[in-house]
Amino acid sequence: MNFVQRSIRGARRISLSHRAVGIGVTVAILLFGAAVFQMEKIMAMLSSGDTIRAEFSRGYKLEEYHSEVRIANATVGKVTDVKLTDHGTVLVSMKVDNDVRDILKSAPSAAIRPTTLLGGVYYVSLLPGGANGKFDGNTIPVQRTSVSVELDKVLSAVTPPAQKGVQSSISQLDGTLRQGGKESVRDLLNDAPGVLQPAGEVLGAARGTRPGTDLTELVEGLETTAVVLNRTDGQLSSIFTDMHRATAALAAGSQPLAESMTTMPDTLRTTRTGLGDLRGSLDLLTSTAESLRPTAKSLDSLLQDLDPVLVRARPLVSDTRTLLTDLRPLVQELIPTADKATQVLSNVRGPVLDRINGPIKQMVLSPWQGSGVYQDGGSSNRFYEELGYLGVNGAKVFQTHDQNGTHGRLMAGVGGRTLGGAAVPMSLEQYLESLGINQPPGPRSNSQSGGLLRFLMPPEESR
């Protein structure tokens, strides 16, 4: 009896243990299934990272813990919450990797994009923006977010006339391709490789000497420039307006500018030569400036003394202005006189001045030298000096006055050095010799006397 009871009790224990195992397995399977369905949520909750929020005009087809967060088509996180706000927008919470804030810079933007052109799975695309630095804010404002539009909605917005126009355009495109357009497209495709290769070289050159960083830094610099230009409303428009005015001014003066550019090489060469010649003057000026400093310092006292003089001279200058105004009619009347004087001087030029500067000047400045019968005669005095002596001696002749008027007083004798005579009387023979009538004694005569008898006697008797 005891054996039977013990057997029944053992069977009951075994059945109870199998039931517990079955229940445990069932619970485990249910938990595993739940974990599988909630795997993405669990993984998102357990993973490390930062939470970033973005406010969209509408949360189009975003799913919590299913929609991805991408930067440049690389997955960096998951959408963890999609919540409607009080003012009709949608606040989307995203859990992203730890280094995403550094990549986004100071003013990032966000957009909801589809994976295909016709829709499908949607994700949030984060775009870096702003100046270099870390994104410190928690929410991207709605001004920097956008929601994509599907192609079917775009097509549904097209009106029936527009649809007919599209159909007509397609028909015309088909006709164009049939009427030789295919050959043009074929030629384009044939020529494209030859064109694309240089284009590839240009694009390769655009990547810079450091392909991994140069183009990126260039884009970042352009982006920073765009942020600075858009920082103030109307600044970019003002820049383009001023640029338009500048280009219009350049276009208006294009001809003089082109001429200036044409002559610029010669001008630069001339300028370079002038600067080279000016170097010595500048060196001299530098050395002169050193010695000029004491003089410049002494000018201070002179300028102080000159200041009251200038104050006193101001009324005089004011009166001089009135005088100049009064003199203007006189100057205007002198203009015809100056023109006539210029004409007279023009007529005097040429033969008249040449004759005065030529034979007349030579005669006036030349001494008298005898020739012919007057050989070896003459004087060292010049012609104008002899005329002066003649005038003086002539005045002396008529210097006697009485009640009847002026009387001429003649003197018996002539001077040996003037045409008008001298106060010292000479002998008659000397007088005749001075006139060239009688030859002075010398080797040409046979005796030292008898000059006057030689003049009075015939030639035969003088011999």
Q: Which of 177-181, 216-220, 259-263, 359-363 has the highest mean pLDDT?
A: 259-263
**pLDDT band for position 38 (50/70/90)?**
low
How confident is the model over 120-176, as pLDDT tens digits? 688 999 998 887 778 877 789 998 998 876 665 656 656 777 777 777 888 887 777
Sheet-wide strand order for 50-56: 139-140, 50-56, 90-96, 74-84, 68-71, 119-127, 109-116, 145-147
The pLDDT of residue 135? 84
Percent of the chain with pLDDT over 90: 4
Q: What is the pTM for the complete model shown?
A: 0.33
C-alpha 355/C-alpha 363 separation (Å) is: 11
How confident is the model over 342-399, as pLDDT tens digits? 877 777 777 777 777 778 887 778 887 777 776 777 777 888 888 888 888 877 777 7
The pLDDT of residue 425? 54
Q: Which of 13-27, 39-53, 249-263, 359-373 has the highest mean pLDDT?
A: 249-263
Residue 453 has pLDDT above 50, yes or no: no
Burial 274-283 (b: 16+ CB within 10 A, else e): eeeeeeeeee
CB distance 51 to 80 below 8 Å: yes
Measure the CA angle with vertex 225, ends 220 and 230; round to 5°. Answer: 125
CA proximity to 113, closest of 65, 53, 71? 71
Q: Which amino acid appears at position 288 of this protein?
A: T
**pLDDT band for position 327 (50/70/90)?**
confident
How confident is the model over 359-374, as pLDDT tens digits? 888 777 888 777 777 6
377 CB burial (10 A radius; 0-12, 13-18, 19+): middle
Eight-class DSSP state of 421: -
Q: How many other CB atoms sit within 10 Å of the CB of residue 109?
A: 18
Residue 454 has pLDDT above 50, yes or no: no
C-alpha 345/C-alpha 79 separation (Å) is: 105
C-alpha 106/C-alpha 144 separation (Å) is: 12
How confident is the model over 52-103, as pLDDT tens digits? 899 998 877 788 888 889 998 888 888 888 898 888 899 999 888 888 888 8
Q: Give the mean model confidence (pLDDT) for residues 8-31.
A: 60
What is the pLDDT of the chain when averaged over all its residues?
A: 75
Q: Which helix (H) or strand (E) holds 44?
A: helix 39-46
C-alpha 112/C-alpha 61 separation (Å) is: 9
